[in-house]
Structure 1
Amino acid sequence: MKHPPARVYVPVVAAIVSAVALVGVAVSGDDPHGSPGRHRGADGVLTIDAAHRPTAPDLTGTDTDGRPASLAEHKGKTVVVNVWASWCGPCREEAPALSRFHERTRGQGVVVLGLNEDDSAGAARDFAREFHLPYPSVLDPGGKRFRAVAEGLTTTQGLPATFVIDPRGRVAAAVSGPVDEKRLTALVAAAKTGTGPSQPWSAAKRFNDVTGRTAGADGVQKRSDRLLGDNPESRSSRPESRSSRSGKPRRGSYPKNAVYFPCPVVHIDSQ
């Protein structure tokens, strides 16, 4: 008797590897896999020259409210595809920035489309309502759509992840980890012009942009160590914080002074 596939989300305790990557000196060079026209910085941000961009897969399904949603309906626009889940702390932290970016740019031929990895549509819907997301999110409980768009572009299937799709439906950039408005603006501009950003997003800058704090390379190292266990405020994988609306503890949000790493997950199918 065959049982339906069971998906197990396994937290990967590889944040140490991410920490090492973050404290490295950011460079802009060819993608280590040898693909022409691809440039990956030490922070993991990948940009692709126009002549070498792969066609994005068809991200079609239903959104958190049960309505049809797809990437194809935004043909001719630049689309920011953000992959998230309600249990992902960094996803909660970047949600307000994505909402502001969508509202600011949707009249300029740019839209945001979410791709949700929750097992429960209800959990995804509650998240979308809590953060008043102004854009739809395609439900992707098995991760099939995420794997399709991430194939060959990201080093880990972690959350959050963001992909910038150019007006011709091709993947122009991929980011593993949280993003902010400034970074999105630069990647979208590059997607339209066919080139990567003129300046690589350094590890220290990524730390500063996401946390709002100032730190050099040494500062990033120290704060990374704190996140990995030395800081009592950040020892829990899902610490509690106060909701700005209800005053009640909210699961999944991280302290404002933390360095945010992607939430790596592994989809395991049992026979």
Structure 2
Amino acid sequence: MLRIKTAPIIALLAGLTLLTPPVSALTDMDDKPASLETLVGKGKWTVVEVWASDCRACRGSIHETINFEAANPDVDVVGISLDGSGGKANAEKFIDEFGLDFTNLLSDPSEFDKYLYSTAKESFIGTPTFMVYNPAGKLLAVQAGAITEEALSAFIKKQEAQGKPAT
């Protein structure tokens, strides 16, 4: 188990080739079916933040993700709102309020829990949750709780320095 500095929990899933099956209830903000497998593994690191519009920790730390994205243009950032289709208006308000310009998708806690368990053998604990995929699309880490911009950057740099293969 690795830790991202200042983060309470991190699970490094090394040595396992993980497939990324789609979340069956995942949609884009236009209500079209979406899947993470089409967004990761494009030769770039991908950081996924799972959030909810009514999550106090998400509201308090979303600026870290915004700052991370701005400081790391070579990393794709994706958000997954767990507000579900019924809370789409709340998700859109959150996106507008914080000026999120990265891709955001919709799901719900139950569907996301199924996805997380099928890919990482981890149960969903709560929002925010971060997932880090290497450039080949392999899920390397799952982190429940807020993470700083610096911690995310350091984790990726450490993986690169250790020469983690992209496959």
The verdict on a shared fold, with TM-score over 0.5 as the criterion, is yes
State the distance in 1 between where 2:2 and 2:154 align.
Answer: 15
Match of 2:65 in 1: 98
Displacement of 1:40 in angstroms is: 4.6
Distance 1:138 1:144 in 2: 13
Task: Tell me the amino acid that sits aligned with residue 113 of structure 1.
Answer: V
Deviates more, 1:141-150 or 1:115-124: 141-150
2:49 touches 2:80 (CA, 8 Å); kept in 1? yes
**Identity %, equivalent residues:** 27
- Whether contact under 8 Å (2:88, 2:106) holds in the other structure is yes
Q: Does 1:188 align with 2:156?
A: yes
Structure 2: which 5+ residue stretches go unaligned? none
Contact 2:29 2:104 in 1 (8 A): yes
Contact 1:140–1:146, Cα closer than 8 Å, also in 2: no
Residue 21 (structure 2) pairs with residue 57 (structure 1): yes
1:173 counterpart residue number = 141
Partner of residue 132, structure 2: 164
Contact 1:84 1:159 in 2 (8 A): yes
Q: CA deviation at 1:69?
A: 5.2
2:106 paired with 1:139: yes
Aligned residue identity for 2:19: T
Instruction: Tell me whether 1:115 sits opposite 2:80 in the alignment.
Output: yes
**What is the CA-CA distance between 1:53 and the residue it aligns to?**
4.5
Code of the aligned partner of 2:135: P
Q: Aligned-pair distance for 1:48?
A: 3.0
Aligned length: 154
Q: Structure 1 residue 66: deviation in Å?
A: 4.6
C-alpha spacing 1:183/1:153, structure 2 compared with 1 (3 Å): farther
| Bigger RCO (CA 8 Å, 6+ sep) | 2
Counterpart of 2:9 (choices 34, 41, 44) is 44
Structure showing greater radius of gyration is 1
Structure 1 alignment gaps of length 5 or more: 1-38, 196-271
Cα deviation code 1:147-166 (max 9, x no counterpart): 31354454552111000011
Q: Distance in 1 between matches of 2:158 and 2:143?
A: 14
Contact preservation (8 Å) 1:165, 1:171? yes
State the SS of the aligned residue for 1:143: helix
- For residue 178 of structure 1, what is the amino acid of its counterpart? A
**Conservation of the 8 A alpha-carbon contact between 2:116 and 2:122:** no
